[in-house]
Chains A and B, each alone.
Chain A
Amino acid sequence: MTTRQILLALALAILFAAIGYNSGRFWAYLIYAVAIAGIGALSLNLLIGFCGQITFAQGALIGVGAYSAAIAGNAGWGGFSLLVAGVVTALVSLLIGLPALRLRGLYFAISTLAAQFILVYFFKILQPLTNGVSGLVVKPLTLFGRPVANDQEYVVICIAILFLSWLFLARITRTDMGRAFLVVRESELVARGMGIDVSRAKAQAFLLSGFFAGICGALFAFTSRLANPEAFEIALSVDQTAMIIVGGLGSLTGSIVGAAFVTLLPEAIERLGEFLPVAGLVSAFREMAFGLLIILFLLLEPRGLVAFVRRLAARRGGKANALAARAPAKTSNRAVTAQDGR
């Protein structure tokens, strides 16, 4: 990551923050929705794209973040509630990651599916803490003793946090710890052979990823002013995974691009639907387009938009860039495929 890239990202962040701050509620909403989804996608990509731990519990983890921020915020913790959400979610994420020490690939993924369903179930029944299915009303975030109540200010906060998260994670992935994640993804055996403590690397990945998932959830709770279990169902996990697949597994920038794509597409279809005589069908079409989007991306551009852009750039600018592309290598640990056997 060069200084130029950081400055470019900073410029983009300031640009979008400025646009959001000076526009109406709807555009402000779109911008912070993308930023919040982007934070979640970054956190998920760290776990799936970098460390190779497939999880479907992301939605529930964002929920944990949302509820802990809501509870801390309502108790008057102000800006600390974001931190509380991050820490609590990191710990829950570590707990979900524990089976990863014994299980791999598919079986671990299924155990996270279990965590997803069980956590959402707890959101529903722990009435005293979460107010059950009707959801917990969240007071606005108070920063420096002043409640943040309008959408334009949330845009600035969300973009700032997104930028910092990106910067932090981009740094982390270039440390020894980040490199260890990559080796664990490619082969746990090799990692062990190189003297990497695989269990520790996994635990670190789960903690880090959980922290940012928690921040994402906290921002979600404060902007939507409501934490209710339905928002954190498996569908949210699927949305988040779709974002990193569309953007590119193992690419932080891609996560944000994917988050924008997956968040804005349904909005676009909804707008389009207003012009067509299909009023009752809009939600069905939106879902259908989302399903198709996932399928088509996986078939046609499995390495995501980032790889697509890199290929375009390589075609125009010659060679070097394409070689530097750090798309994840094929980690084909599916049990059996017809061509390559066991």
Chain B
Amino acid sequence: MIALQLAISGIATGSVYALIALGIVLIYKCSGVVNFAQGAYAMLGAYVTYALLKLGLPALLAVLVGMALMALAGMATERLILRRMLKAQIVSVMMVTLGLLIFFRAFCLAIWGPDQIAFPQVFPSGSIDFAGIFITYNYLAAFALATTLSVAFLLFYRHTSIGLMQRCAADNPRAALAIGIHVSNQVSIAWAASAALAGLGGALLATLGGLSLNISDIGLIAFPVIVVGGLESLAGALIAGFLLGMLEAFTEGMLSPAIEEFLRGFTTIQSVGALQQVIPYGLLVLMLLVRPQGIFGRAGTERV
């Protein structure tokens, strides 16, 4: 029963993680940039949505305006910073996204302070009792929204002309340029979409667990799982998100207590701490050694 309960909360948070992970993969596919700042966009999105709600906007409008603002922020980042770094070394590009992460965190710290803020009630409170398993409306709504949006995005990517251009630009930028696709603009669009998705994801995370600077951690925590799913696979990112959610829930709820009890038997170690934040990285190390291209990555892609 506990397992089922954990699975449900894991799937719900996992669906939000999937939304955030999608953005990382989208940017990587399109421009080869590893965006460590994705967590920062999630955090910024959450705070912006919070500010809009405080201004008295209705929830739906606040979320939409928040996403639009985040899209602008993402596009601005690409135009102002990443576009100038097309030929930079890989370590420089990683560092610039880390610099963005630090900057946005400090920005939110300066405006909203270091303490956790209770996020305004967006969804009705209460829960469904389903044969002894409780699902709060919060979780249900977050799951429904995140999943709908993820699926909608995948459909968009597959079936519209912008989506087709996105895929062309990601697949072979030179050929895309040759047939008249403005590749740089496609990269801008990818950043805008990615930041908007992350922003919504951040706001949903805030409805689940409160609003704090720690939302930005999700970028670095989700990273290993995305690599496990394959950095170039959107479907892999979705599955990676769900996997991460489940992994967290089960580690926190079942594995950690079990290990702690086991260790107490013959050592003085009392607690295994935040094991759920490290397990994805352990998984990653195993994965990189066994199958570096990820579960859904193409084996032929050169890993450079």
Contacts and interface: CB of A to CB of B under 8 A. Distances in A.
B110 A109 contact: no
Contacts of B92: 245, 298, 302
- In the A-B complex, list the 4 residue pairs whose CB atoms are closest, starting with the nearest: A291-B103, A294-B99, A287-B106, A291-B102
Contact of A339 (B33, B86, B95, B270): B86
Nearest to B184: A338
A118 B272 CA distance: 12
Chain B contact residues, majority secondary structure:
helix
B31 interface: yes
A335 interface: yes
Nearest to A238: B98
A128 to B, nearest CB: 6
A110 to B, nearest CB: 6
A293 B98 CA distance: 12
A114 B271 contact: no
B90 A334 contact: yes
Given A118-B281, A287-B109, A48 B91 contact: yes
A113 interface: yes
A245 B110 contact: no
B277 A117 contact: yes
Given A285-B110, A340-B87, 9 more contacts: A103-B303, A109-B94, A114-B284, A249-B91, A290-B102, A295-B96, A338-B31, A338-B187, A339-B86
Interface of A: 48, 54, 99, 102-107, 109-111, 113-115, 117-118, 121, 124-128, 133, 234, 238, 241-242, 245, 249, 280-281, 283-288, 290-295, 298-299, 302, 328, 330-342
Contact of B268 (A128, A287, A292, A338): A128
A342 B81 CA distance: 22
B177 A338 contact: yes
A245 B268 CA distance: 43
B233 to A, nearest CB: 14
Interface in B92-118: 92-96, 98-107, 109-110, 113
B163 to A, nearest CB: 18
B82 to A, nearest CB: 10
B273 interface: yes
A58 B285 CA distance: 17
A330 B91 CA distance: 11
28 contacts: A48-B91, A54-B90, A54-B91, A54-B94, A105-B90, A107-B292, A110-B34, A110-B288, A114-B282, A117-B277, A117-B281, A121-B278, A249-B89, A281-B110, A283-B109, A287-B109, A291-B104, A294-B102, A295-B100, A299-B96, A302-B92, A332-B87, A332-B88, A336-B31, A337-B87, A337-B173, A338-B86, A340-B87
Nearest to B271: A125
Contact of B95 (A234, A242, A328): A242
B273 A333 contact: no
Contacts of B34: 106, 110
Contacts of B107: 284, 288
A232 B214 CA distance: 18
Contacts of B278: 117-118, 121
Interface of B: 28, 31-34, 81, 84-96, 98-107, 109-110, 113, 169-170, 172-174, 177, 183-184, 187, 220, 223-224, 227, 267-275, 277-278, 281-282, 284-285, 288-289, 292, 303-304
Given A107-B303, A331-B89, A114 B95 contact: no
Contacts of B267: 128
A125 B103 CA distance: 30
Contact of A291 (B106, B220, B282): B106
Contacts of B273: 121, 124-125, 133
Contacts of B269: 125-128
A25 B101 CA distance: 34
A278 B272 CA distance: 39
B149 to A, nearest CB: 27
B252 to A, nearest CB: 14
A191 B213 CA distance: 45
Contacts of B85: 298-299
Nearest to B91: A54
Contacts of B187: 338
A238 B36 CA distance: 12
Given A107-B227, A241-B91, A335 B304 contact: yes
Nearest to B176: A338
B89 A335 contact: no
B157 to A, nearest CB: 18
A330 B90 contact: no
Given A117-B278, A285-B106, A105 B99 contact: no
A113 B102 contact: no
Nearest to A278: B110
Residue of B96, B99, B183, B223 with most partner-chain A CB within 10 A: B99
Residue of B110, B268, B285 with most partner-chain A CB within 10 A: B110
